[in-house]
Structure 1
Amino acid sequence: MSPGWPGAWERLGVPPEELEEVSGEREVLASLPRMKRKKMYVLEPIVKMVLKGNTSNDNTSFLDSEFRYTLFPVFYSIVFILGLTANSYVLFVLHRLREAQTMNEIRIYMTNLTVADLLFVCALPFWIDYFLRRGDWKYSDILCRVIGTFFYINNYCSILFLTAISVNRYWAVTCPLDAASSNCWRRGALISTIIWVLTLSFSMEYLVKPGVNKDQANVSRCFEGYHEDNEDSKRFLAITHLVIVTSFFLVFFIVVACNLLIARALLIQSPSQALGSVSAKPRGVKRQALQMLCVVVVVFIVCFLPHHLVQYPWTLAVLQIQEGWGSTGWNDTTRCWLNDAHQITLMLMGLNCLLDPVVYCFATRRFRLYIKDHLKRVGKGRHYSDTIATHISMTSQGLHNEPGAS
């Protein structure tokens, strides 16, 4: 007899001499007619109720993907080293450009995006240790909540700040005079504040609710699985994820639309319009602006789109809502396939902290010019000095009206 059944029968008040050796749901149900012959009719609905509860627990068992315990530590170690180096250097460059007063709204978005990336990178050592221990969390529940929240903050701050950069570039290309005459610094600070408030507000739930839970093998899982036991809580969680996924696709549509309109405006620009720019190299400016558009769209398609395509079906597979809205009836093979796909998309989302610095290089010519000059000096063995920032400031004055210059 399986370990779970004696306790259930004892709770039902079945005398030991009436207890039959059964090992599963089918055998228990098969024994009900014999129980009826012994005048135990009242037990049939109760037994079925107990069995239904036991089956529900089996269906909501923890879904796992063995490959992640080998792949994730290696992948996240690479992301940690490269991401920490790249984003720290980006902050250094942005700081020097701020001193030279050569960047405004775009610099604000880039700085905030870099901070969000560094939050994620700083949490990676804990995730590396977690997967090396085969998904067994050995730290406090509060720390689990914090590093799990960093993951969501990074991803959704990245999505929103990349959207802000796309809208800003669209405005600079289609309405250059309005963009140049407006208070860019104040607008950038306001939009950045709104993005952080929204992201932190939606992430607050993850800081309040328990982050660590035990699975059937008594393994402490961090930010994996759900604590909701009743159907209403599961259904509410499914609706929440549906809203998040739908919101992402609305933002994704805005990003694609802005970048397509920017590309259209650049490609149909007449030679006289291009030559009317202060720049002596309009073709190069146009090419760099188009490259920036491609990089932003690639980041969305590679890092964020796969996750949000899989997220909602995976949520339903994990919750296993038994009846009504949200119920699926998927078998174990489908659920395992969805979980494997979900794990891969989580890994792809981690790439955004490496690709964001590439966006910066194409988003502003001053950023590229600074890095090029700095690396050239380092390559020649010359020490960095404030004259670089001064040189960039003077050079950038002739680039102010270019589409890729801000």
Structure 2
Amino acid sequence: MNCTNDQYYKTSDFKYPFFIVIYSLLFIIGLPVNIAACCYLVSSKANKRLSEVKIYMISLTLADLLYIMLLPFWIDYYYHGGYWRFPAFTCSLFGSLFYINTYSTLFFLSLISFTRYLAVSRPVKTAQSAQRNRGIGVTVLVWLLIVCCSLCILIDNKNHVNKRNDNTTSCFENYTEKNEKTQLLVIHSLMLLAFVVTLGAVIGNYVLIIRRLSREQTALRVPQHKLKKKAVRMVLTVLVIYMVCFLPYHLIQLPWMLLVLNVVHSNDCLFRKTFNDVHQVTLGLMSINCVLDPVVYCFLTEDFRRYLRELTCYCRDKCVLWSKLRSPSSCI
């Protein structure tokens, strides 16, 4: 069965209820969890031991919060069947912030895994040296790099909105001949390269930690051994986030773009529809990282787990007290 480009872009209608559910759950779960993580990381208690890894974690949390706070706009977009009801420039702005969140997350997760390798390979030096300045410098460089690379999306804002026949406007849903194919292919190739480099760094750090532990296992004291095992679990968690959230999207993104731009030709409507459906699912999977990132903190420190428990108990007690005050019996 053959299909035209217009028919192809009208496929994957399941994405509207799919993203409404996914984004709503992410907003409900991710907002309080990331606010709690941010409050803990910038609290005076945590700042007494502010280290390089916590600087990266603060940046990671802020990136997640920025993404989560924009989710209501995308929920509105999919609720209205792909109708962008906001000013056209906000489509490019929010789209660029999506990429800023995605690739800053990749870089900061890889940096966190590297700091865990340093903690395993040079625990005394890492504990004694002041790494705060290096962490701040690297963080500034990462943000500048990601923001500068995202400027092309902001500058090229007119190509990301598309007027439909029914007078509605779509956002990031159409790539027509007016788009520069070479520019898009270069951008998406760089995105794939960033993923490959950061994933390679995470895998490399995990392998180095395992090798280091296997050599020193018999010589390690029990407390030191537990500390290094915690580093292994944390880097393994980062690796799982990469594999679950980011790998599927980056495996399919470049082939999907080649198909959309007709660099790779196919008139098989079923094939193109299936490819587009899978692409939408991988986008949903990649969004889940904003609620999985706090898992990394849980593996890194017992203090954060204790902070979450205390915060949960405090909120529960407040809710119970509020419900008692509002009950009719409280007025008797």
What is the TM-score of this pair, normalised by structure 2? 0.86
How many angstroms does 1:228 deviate by? Answer: 4.5
Task: Give the one of 164, 175, 178 matched to 1:226.
Answer: 175
Distance 1:61 1:272, change over 3 A: closer
Q: Deviations over 1:170-193 (max 9, x none)?
A: 111112233234331001001100
How many angstroms does 1:217 deviate by? Answer: 5.2
Q: Given residue 156 of structure 1, which amino acid in structure 2 is its aligned partner? A: Y
Could you tell me which residue of structure 1 aligns to residue 202 of structure 2? 255
Tell me the C-alpha RMSD between the 2 structures: 2.6
How many angstroms does 1:309 deviate by? Answer: 0.1
The alignment status of 1:173 with 2:115, answered yes or no, reads: no
The alignment status of 1:316 with 2:294, answered yes or no, reads: no
Could you tell me which residue of structure 1 aligns to residue 27 of structure 2? 80
Distance (Å, rounded) in 1 between the aligned partners of 2:172 and 2:137: 32
Q: Given residue 187 of structure 2, which amino acid in structure 1 is its aligned partner? A: T
Distance 1:379 1:98, change over 3 A: closer
- Range 254-263 or range 156-165, more displaced: 254-263
Q: Given residue 294 of structure 1, which amino acid in structure 2 is its aligned partner? A: L
Q: Given residue 95 of structure 2, which amino acid in structure 1 is its aligned partner? A: G
How many angstroms does 1:66 deviate by? Answer: 1.0
How many angstroms does 1:313 deviate by? Answer: 0.8
Could you tell me which residue of structure 2 aligns to residue 299 of structure 1? 241
The alignment status of 1:346 with 2:293, answered yes or no, reads: no
How many angstroms does 1:330 deviate by? Answer: 5.3
Distance (Å, rounded) in 2 between the aligned partners of 1:381 and 1:131: 37
Could you tell me which residue of structure 1 aligns to residue 59 of structure 2? 112
The alignment status of 1:331 with 2:275, answered yes or no, reads: no
How many angstroms does 1:166 deviate by? Answer: 0.6
Q: Secondary structure at the match of 1:173?
A: helix
Q: Deviations over 1:381-404 (max 9, x none)?
A: 69xxxxxxxxxxxxxxxxxxxxxx
Distance (Å, rounded) in 1 between the aligned partners of 2:193 and 2:43: 39
The alignment status of 1:196 with 2:138, answered yes or no, reads: no
Q: Deviations over 1:339-390 (max 9, x none)?
A: 1111001000110000000011112344345445x358749969xxxxxxxx
Task: Give the one of 129, 144, 147 matched to 2:76.
Answer: 129
**Structure having greater relative contact order (Cα 8 Å, sep ≥ 6):** 2
Distance 1:195 1:69, change over 3 A: same
Could you tell me which residue of structure 2 aligns to residue 147 of structure 1? 94
User: 5+ residue gaps in structure 2?
Assistant: 319-332
Q: Given residue 67 of structure 1, which amino acid in structure 2 is its aligned partner? A: F
Q: Deviations over 1:127-161 (max 9, x none)?
A: 11111111111111122122112211111111010
The alignment status of 1:183 with 2:130, answered yes or no, reads: yes
How many angstroms does 1:75 deviate by? Answer: 1.4
How many angstroms does 1:121 deviate by? Answer: 0.3
Could you tell me which residue of structure 1 aligns to residue 326 of structure 2? none
How many angstroms does 1:103 deviate by? Answer: 2.5
Q: Secondary structure at the match of 2:221?
A: helix
Q: Secondary structure at the match of 2:219?
A: helix
Aligned residues between the structures: 315
Distance (Å, rounded) in 1 between the aligned partners of 2:62 and 2:169: 30
Distance (Å, rounded) in 1 between the aligned partners of 2:305 and 2:228: 15
User: For the Cα contact (< 8 Å) 1:144–1:212, is it kept in 2?
Assistant: yes
Distance (Å, rounded) in 2 between the aligned partners of 1:85 and 1:58: 41
Q: Given residue 291 of structure 2, which amino acid in structure 1 is its aligned partner? A: L
Q: Given residue 195 of structure 2, which amino acid in structure 1 is its aligned partner? A: F
Percent of residue pairs bearing the same amino acid type? 37
Could you tell me which residue of structure 2 aligns to residue 8 of structure 1? none
Q: Given residue 259 of structure 1, which amino acid in structure 2 is its aligned partner? A: Y
Q: Secondary structure at the match of 1:273?
A: coil
Distance 1:189 1:129, change over 3 A: same
User: For the Cα contact (< 8 Å) 2:176–2:261, is it kept in 1?
Assistant: no
Distance (Å, rounded) in 1 between the aligned partners of 2:279 and 2:312: 42
User: For the Cα contact (< 8 Å) 1:263–1:293, is it kept in 2?
Assistant: no
The alignment status of 1:289 with 2:231, answered yes or no, reads: yes
Distance (Å, rounded) in 2 between the aligned partners of 1:376 and 1:127: 29
Kindly indicate which of the two structures has a greater share of residues assigned to helix. Answer: 2
User: 5+ residue gaps in structure 1?
Assistant: 1-54, 322-326, 383-406
Distance 1:355 1:259, change over 3 A: same
Q: Secondary structure at the match of 1:64?
A: coil
Could you tell me which residue of structure 1 aligns to residue 325 of structure 2? none
The alignment status of 1:68 with 2:5, answered yes or no, reads: no
Distance 1:246 1:331, change over 3 A: farther
User: For the Cα contact (< 8 Å) 1:116–1:158, is it kept in 2?
Assistant: yes
